[in-house]
């Protein structure tokens, strides 16, 4: 019986079952989020409960395989691998987060300006496109060569690497919606540019932007690892994941565990963020799903 003919659905009750069903429908997103949360929790909680020492050098305990005292073994200077990974996690996550936040702020604002005002567009687009010409990490390398290796400079380098992409996405969205009916309606009511951009266009563009930012976050982790590997990241004795892989090169035969662990955890972090990004994309555009439908 259609007594609810008017079409107003009953308010959803936020019970556990509701969340579970949501999780079932958005498998990737849920798994990704869980993985990320686990990583963050471990990074934060382990130092509280276990004694973490990423820096003490001890010739006596060098290059030891995993044991009870050192869950992931020790490196060539006798430092505890597990502690170094945990500290490295906070470094990588910090850098990636800062870079992504900066990218979001500047990318969105510059993108909107670029999409809205033709004069700004010429300048911003030209610079942004020129930055995109540099293949891959080359741009970051150049910047770090100029500024010198440090955590802050890595953030800046990654930011410069990704902000053009976000600018492009935002700009495209603004251009797409510029002529839309709802925009014309808002303007005819006297809305200012800023109002139109922030209240009308932005909410609709937020989807692709979020997807790109989460994928940017995962790329930031990979890029930072690569730069540290090359020796251009935060300088020693900071235990960066990439730096650990670089250090483990020499001992690849004698102490393979030194190589495996940092790479595995980088992969884990990137997968979790990619799942989040993909999950968000599927949520926005269910047609591209391959599982779950």
Partner 1 sequence: MLSYTLRRIVVFVPTLFITLTLIFVLTRMLPGSPVASLLGTQLVNAEMLDDVSRQLGLDRPILAQYVEWLPRILTGDFGQSLFFSKPVAEVLFERFPVTLSLTVFALIVTIVVGIPLGILSAVKRGSFLDYLGNIVSSFGMALPPFWLGFVLILVFAVDLKWLPSSGYRPIEMGFWPWLSRLILPTIALSLSQIGLIVRMTRSTMLEVLDTEYVGMARAKGMPEWIVIVRHALRNAMVQIITAIGLLFALGLGGSVIIEQVFALPGLGELITTAAIRRDYATLEAGIFYLTLTALVVNLLVDVAYAYFNPRVRLA
Partner 2 sequence: MMREDTLKQETGPVLDARGVTIAFRRHARHVRVVRNVDLAIEHGEIVGLVGESGSGKSIFARAILGTLPFQAKVLEGKISFDGQDLLRMPRQQLQRLRGDRIALVPQEPMTSLNPSLRIGRQLTEVLEVHRPELQSAARVNRAIEMLDLVGIKFPRERLAQYPHQLSGGLRQRVAIAMGLICGRVELLIADEPTTALDVTIQAQILDLFVRLQSMQKMSVLLITHDLGVIAQTVQRVAVMYAGEIFEKAGVQDLFAAPLHPYTRGLLDSLPRAGGAAHKSHLPSIAGAVPSPTETQQGCSFADRCSFRVEICRQQAPELEPAGKGRFVRCFRWKELAERLVRWNAVS
Chain contacts with partner 1 (rule: CB under 8 A) = 126-127, 129-131, 133-138, 141-148, 218, 222, 225-226, 229-232, 242, 245, 249, 252-253, 256, 259-260, 262-263, 266-267, 270-271, 274-275, 278, 287-288, 290-291, 293
CA 107 to chain centre: 15
- Residue 286 binding target from partner 2, partner 1, none, CB below 5 to 8 Å by type: none
CA–CA distance, 37 with 16 (Å, rounded to integer): 19
Q: How many CB atoms are closer than 10 A to CB 220?
A: 27
Residues in 6-25 that interact with partner 2 by CB under 8 A: 25
- Residue 153 binding target from partner 1, partner 2, none, CB below 5 to 8 Å by type: none
- Residue 1 binding target from partner 2, partner 1, none, CB below 5 to 8 Å by type: partner 2
Q: Is 119 a residue that touches partner 2 (CB under 8 A)? A: no
- Residue 270 binding target from partner 1, partner 2, none, CB below 5 to 8 Å by type: partner 1
CA–CA distance, 273 with 220 (Å, rounded to integer): 11
CA–CA distance, 155 with 234 (Å, rounded to integer): 10
Compare residues 7 and 179 and give the one whose CB is closer to partner 2. 7
Given a contact cutoff of 8 angstroms between Cβ atoms, the answer to whether 120 and 193 are in contact is: no
Q: Is 133 a residue that touches partner 2 (CB under 8 A)? A: no
Binding mask 264-293 for partner 2 (x = CB under 8 A): -----------------------------x
Q: How far is the CB of 275 from partner 2 (least distance, A)?
A: 22
The stretch near partner 2 (CB under 8 A) out of 1-9, 10-18, 40-48, 209-217 is: 1-9
Closest by Cα among 42, 43, 50, 55 to 81 = 55
Q: Is 188 a residue that touches partner 2 (CB under 8 A)? A: no
Could you tell me what percentage of the chain is helix, strand and coil, using 3-state DSSP and rounding each to the nearest 5? 75, 0, 25
- Alpha carbons within 13 angstroms on the beta-carbon side of residue 177 total 23
Alpha helices in the chain (DSSP H): 16-25, 27-49, 81-116, 118-133, 138-147, 151-178, 181-188, 193-195, 202-230, 241-248, 257-284
Three-state DSSP at 71 gives coil
Compare residues 3 and 188 and give the one whose CB is closer to partner 2. 3
Q: How far is the CB of 7 from partner 2 (least distance, A)?
A: 8
């Amino acid at each position: 019986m259609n007594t609810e003919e008017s079409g107003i659905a009953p308010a959803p009750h936020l019970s556990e079952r509701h969340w579970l069903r949501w999780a079932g429908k958005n498998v990737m997103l849920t798994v990704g989020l869980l993985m990320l949360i686990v990583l963050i929790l471990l990074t934060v909680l382990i130092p509280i409960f276990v004694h973490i020492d990423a820096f003490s050098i001890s010739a006596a305990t060098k290059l030891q395989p995993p044991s009870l005292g050192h869950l992931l073994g020790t490196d060539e200077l006798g430092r505890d691998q597990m502690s170094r990974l945990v500290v490295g996690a906070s470094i990588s996550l910090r850098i990636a987060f800062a870079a992504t936040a900066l990218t979001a702020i500047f990318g969105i604002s510059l993108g909107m300006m670029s999409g809205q005002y033709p004069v700004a567009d010429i300048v911003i687009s030209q610079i942004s496109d020129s930055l995109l010409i540099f293949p891959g990490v080359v741009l970051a390398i150049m910047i770090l060569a100029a500024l010198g290796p440090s955590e802050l400079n890595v953030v800046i380098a990654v930011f410069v690497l990704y902000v053009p992409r976000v600018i492009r996405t935002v700009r495209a969205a603004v251009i797409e919606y510029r002529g839309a009916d709802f925009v014309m309606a808002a303007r005819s009511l006297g809305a200012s540019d800023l109002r139109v951009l922030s209240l009308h266009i932005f909410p609709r563009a937020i989807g692709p932007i979020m997807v790109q930012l989460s994928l940017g976050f995962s790329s930031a982790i990979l890029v930072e690892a690569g730069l540290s590997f090359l020796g251009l990241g935060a300088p020693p004795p900071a235990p960066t994941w990439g730096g650990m892989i670089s250090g483990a090169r020499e001992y690849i035969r004698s102490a393979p565990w030194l190589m495996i662990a940092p790479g595995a955890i980088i992969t884990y972090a990137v997968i979790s963020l990619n799942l989040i990004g993909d999950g968000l994309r599927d949520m926005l555009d269910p047609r591209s799903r391959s599982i779950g439908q």
